[in-house]
Chains A and B, each alone.
Chain A
Amino acid sequence: MAEHRPSASIEAVESGLAAQGYIASRQIATAVYLAQQIEKPILVEGPAGVGKTELAKAIAAWRGLKMIRLQCYEGLDEAKALYEWKYAKQLLYTQILKDKLGEVLGGAATLHAALDQLHDFGDVFFSKEFVEPRPLLQALEQTAGCVLLIDEIDKSDAEFESLLLEILSDFQVTIPELGTIVAVAAPTVILTSNSERDLGDALKRRCLHLHIGFPEQKLEERIVESRVPGISQTLRKQMVGFIHEIRTLDLKKLPSVSETIDWARVLVLLQATELGHEMVKDTLNVLLKYEADIEAAQPQVSTFIAKASRQGVFG
């Protein structure tokens, strides 16, 4: 499991992720493979709940790496994402070292001489000891490499994006007082976005751009199979078919893969073997998150179940 070197082929990526319970489409596997081969971050876009964050977790688990997660939000800045000076510690040390300072400077007769001696002293207080590493810096410091997940980058401000550019292109950070810190081992970087805000071109061009949409029926069945092992085959086929029908409706929030999995779990809990009209109506709130959506879907339920069962027979 603890395999650090880049995987040999796209198939290896696919099976490796599958072993962690993440069923990847060909596109996703190709992206992960390329990201390792040419050392580029992946920018993952797509609707909520299709497994963008899961992808990062799966890669970390598969390659036995530590995952460092940075959740973005409006107002996130350098001090919270990259590094900060430990002001309090600096202050405390100056207090403690006051007497020592007196000793050092004691020999100096004039202000000039004292200043010269201070210069020889160097910038003790702006050294690595006093830097508090935040997620991004932590990721660069991992000697074994890591998976860095920058989650929901679209929630952050445009300024923060610019801050990321240096890390994304060269895996390094410049701290004015210390100089440039280069990654020990290049981390695998995954950025996720729900496209709430258009990201800058500079950011996009540093990344591989992967769009994860709703999976195809076959793929989704495999995902359910790996995530909810106890589910019967007919039920699986029917429920995935049903969800695909639901997605054709014009809803406020379409059910995504995470809802599919939740629903599968619920159905297993209720010990269902087949999709029944009543049961679907009772559990529709697992799939749909808006009252208006549930109302819109209710009258269609019977037809969808019928369609899904027919597919189950012939498909």
Chain B
Amino acid sequence: MRENLHHFFRAARGAGVRLSPAESIDAMRAVAKVGFSDRTILRDTFLLTLAKSQDEKKALGDCFDLFFNQPEPSQAAPDDGDADDSESGAETTESGSDSDAGSDAAQDLGPLAQMLLSQDRNEIAAAIANASSAASLSDIRYFTQRGIFSGRILDAMGIQRLRDDLDDLTATNPALAERLAAALDGLRDTVREAVSQALMLYGREEAENLRNEILRNAPLSRIEPRQVEQMRHLIRQIARRLRERYSKPRKRQRRGHLDVRRTLRRNAAWGSVPFLTAWKRKHRDKPKIVALCDVSGSVARVSDFFLLLIHSLHEVVSDVRSFAFSGHLIEVSDILEAKSPEEAMAEIMAKVGFGSSDYGGSLADFEKQWMSAVTPQTTVIVLGDARSNNLDPRADILRRIGERSKRLVWLNPEGRMAWGWGDSEMPRYSTFCTVVRQCATAQQLERAVSDIVATYQ
């Protein structure tokens, strides 16, 4: 059972419950107290000792149900020993016990064939469970391994012998051979199912990690429609991580000078002997972000994710104003805040999206109406490829924005190689920016935003 518990812990990790060895020790101590006999108590015990949040409790509960629905290999352990024995001495023992198979021709068949013909479900299930643990099925991680593990399990169950039997039988007893072949197909299906279930239990985390890793480094602009939802999920994850990292109470203010007034008052009780000291606190800027997003056809998808990330970050940065532009510029903060991401994106796109971009015109729009939003505490982020269709880039406005703000960051989804070629105005703009970065993948996006938030910590 101990072995089984370890398998369960691994399965729980696969289900997304973060378990440290110390927690598994606690769980084992607790289980030792309550015993295994009562499933509901066992389940409660795991939920109490292992899961640390509601989500985790749910995941762990599902995982528990899935896991303990499988037949336990340890129960069938004594059979295991028997099976090994009988394999060596198959001919001698099996000839007698075989009468229920109903056929004389079945006399010198291998153990697996006997088992299949006798159609004892429990025995077969136990045999599969044994073979699974022999093939260490719990090591399965990726869906590509399904074939290998199915093969290993069938090998461990003695499929080689079964094939020989089948060959012999087709010659001597075609009817029985047919029955056996059908049973074998059934067995294959059952094994495949067991492997799939194991993959679900043990492989979920790795598969997800792999997929996220690929997605994280894929160019945002070239994401296929079916991946968009996964990408949104990933972006939300990134936002959550950033939030966890930066929303910690910003209390650990660095000490400034001694606050004489407060120190004296605090120590009045003991004759103003300064036992307790009070310090002046250093002032820290509140984060303010103004985001300008190019939503013209070429970069629309990237800005989509970008706006999503910025607005998922609301809990860290309370003061975010977002603007979208292609031909002209509008404020979209309200739309993003009031609606679900999908609806908001659709509305923004309908209003200003997909046009051909006019950076000069849009910057002029911004200067005319919203320049006051930029203060010395503001970080201004511009997201765009700086391709202005050979119109006047109005770099002078960008210079003024840069001068008013704390930082001016330009995130460009194009590679550095492309900057300055064709109608790209990037070199002209970049002289006025504090930071210029390439930002084509989710990972780069995360780093860029993380840096921006970090400057306020």
Partners in one complex: yes
CB of A76, distance to nearest CB on chain B (Å): 13
CB of B443, distance to nearest CB on chain A (Å): 24
CB of B87, distance to nearest CB on chain A (Å): 44
Q: A34-B34, A38-B33, A87-B275 in contact; A27/B270 too (CB < 8 A)?
A: no
Q: Which applies to chain B's interface (DSSP): helix, strand, loop or mixed?
A: helix
User: Are the CB atoms of B49 and A34 closer together than 8 Å?
Assistant: yes
User: Are the CB atoms of A34 and B270 closer together than 8 Å?
Assistant: no
Q: Is A252 an interface residue (CB 8 A)?
A: no
The stretch of B20-28, B352-360, B447-455 that contacts the partner chain: B20-28
The stretch of B51-59, B169-177, B300-308, B333-341 that contacts the partner chain: B51-59
In the complex, A45 Cα to B33 Cα: how many Å? 24
User: Are the CB atoms of B48 and A34 closer together than 8 Å?
Assistant: yes
In the complex, A40 Cα to B23 Cα: how many Å? 12
User: Are the CB atoms of B22 and A88 closer together than 8 Å?
Assistant: no
User: Are the CB atoms of B48 and A31 closer together than 8 Å?
Assistant: yes
Q: Is B234 an interface residue (CB 8 A)?
A: no
User: Are the CB atoms of B53 and A209 closer together than 8 Å?
Assistant: yes
CB of B246, distance to nearest CB on chain A (Å): 13
In the complex, A159 Cα to B252 Cα: how many Å? 9
Closest to B44 in A: A30
User: Are the CB atoms of A27 and B251 closer together than 8 Å?
Assistant: no
Instruction: Pick the residue among A10, A157, A201, A209 that contacts B51 (CB under 8 A).
Output: A209
In the complex, A197 Cα to B52 Cα: how many Å? 14
**Residues from chain A with Cβ under 8 Å of B41 in the complex:** 10, 26, 30
In the complex, A211 Cα to B58 Cα: how many Å? 11
Q: Is A246 an interface residue (CB 8 A)?
A: no
**Residues from chain B with Cβ under 8 Å of A178 in the complex:** none
| Contacts from B to A (Cβ < 8 Å) | 18, 20, 22-23, 26, 29-30, 33-34, 40-41, 44-45, 47-49, 51-54, 57, 244, 248-249, 251, 269-271, 273, 275
Q: A10-B41, A33-B34, A34-B33 are in contact. List 20 more A-B contacts (CB 8 A).
A: A27-B47, A27-B48, A30-B34, A30-B44, A30-B45, A30-B48, A31-B44, A31-B48, A34-B45, A34-B48, A37-B30, A37-B33, A38-B26, A87-B269, A88-B269, A91-B271, A205-B23, A205-B52, A209-B48, A209-B57
| Contacts from A to B (Cβ < 8 Å) | 10, 26-27, 30-31, 33-34, 37-38, 40, 45, 87-88, 91, 157-159, 197-198, 201, 204-205, 208-211
18 A-B pairs within 8 Å (CB atoms) are namely A27-B44, A27-B48, A30-B34, A30-B45, A31-B44, A34-B33, A34-B48, A38-B29, A38-B33, A87-B270, A87-B275, A88-B269, A157-B249, A158-B251, A205-B52, A209-B49, A209-B51, A209-B57
